């Protein structure tokens, strides 16, 4: 799974060579560290005047401590994997500041971090996943509405009586 997910999520091209992937992995690790450094370098004085940062940080704080705690990878106090979840989610909220962080993103990241076993690789796989499902987290629910509309059309084509029943 560790080898396949980066391809399936579009982090790596299917026709890339091992050397190209190693180069990308190294470059992306540096890119990840730069974005992570952005939020890590915010001083307490800056944080007082950065409402969005405080809000996102608070949401992530609440969500990561509830993430898959019955799973041995995340159980126990002061679990380093919980800290990695936190760091990746806060870094992602800076990487894609327009989308930011929404409740539920932690549940998508959790299995990726477990499988990838690497902070940077998990981040980039998560970012690639968010490219596909990120619109589902839009505050205006436009992504969800588009999916429901597509599902409605699919049901209409495949089972017209069922579609008519749902319309009522």
- What are 68-111's pLDDT values in tens digits? 888 999 988 889 999 999 999 999 999 999 889 988 899 999 99
Would you state the structure tokens that stand for residue 9, as one six-digit string?
Answer: 């999520």
Q: Which of 32-36, 69-73, 126-130 has the lowest mean pLDDT?
A: 69-73
CA distances from 103 to 55, 61, 129, 151 (A): 12, 11, 16, 24
Determine which helix (DSSP H) or strand (DSSP E) holds 157, and give its type and residue range. Answer: helix 142-158
> Has residue 143 got a pLDDT over 70?
no
Least confident of 69-83, 99-113, 124-138, 150-164: 150-164
Among candidates 139, 130, 136, 137, which has minimal Cα distance to 151? 136
Instruction: Indicate if the pLDDT at residue 67 is higher than 70.
Output: yes
Residue count of the chain? 168
Please list the alpha-helical segments (H only) found in 9-118: 18-40, 44-48, 51-64, 80-95, 105-116
| Phi, psi angle pair for 58, to nearest 5° | -65, -45
Cα separation of 53 and 57, whole Å? 6
pTM to 2 decimal places: 0.83
> b vs e for 122-148, b when ≥16 Cβ sit within 10 Å of the residue's Cβ?
bbbbbbbbbeeebbebeeeeeeeeeee
- Let me know if 62 is exposed, middle or buried by CB neighbors in 10 A (0-12, 13-18, 19+): exposed
> What 8-state DSSP symbol labels residue 134?
G
């Amino acid at each position: 799974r560790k080898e396949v997910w980066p391809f399936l999520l579009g982090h790596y091209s299917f026709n890339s060579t091992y050397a190209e992937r190693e180069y990308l992995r190294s470059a992306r690790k540096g890119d990840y560290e730069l974005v992570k450094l952005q939020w890590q370098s915010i001083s307490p004085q800056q944080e007082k005047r950065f409402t969005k940062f405080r809000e996102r940080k608070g949401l992530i704080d609440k969500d990561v401590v509830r993430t898959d705690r019955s799973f041995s990878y995340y159980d126990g106090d002061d679990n380093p994997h919980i800290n990695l979840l936190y760091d990746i989610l806060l870094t992602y909220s800076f990487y894609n500041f327009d989308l930011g962080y929404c409740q539920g993103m932690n549940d998508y990241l959790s299995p990726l971090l477990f499988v990838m076993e690497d902070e940077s690789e998990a981040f980039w796989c998560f970012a690639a996943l968010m490219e596909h499902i990120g619109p589902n987290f839009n505050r205006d629910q436009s992504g969800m509405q588009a999916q429901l509309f597509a599902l409605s059309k699919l049901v209409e084509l495949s089972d017209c009586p069922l579609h008519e029943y749902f319309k009522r």
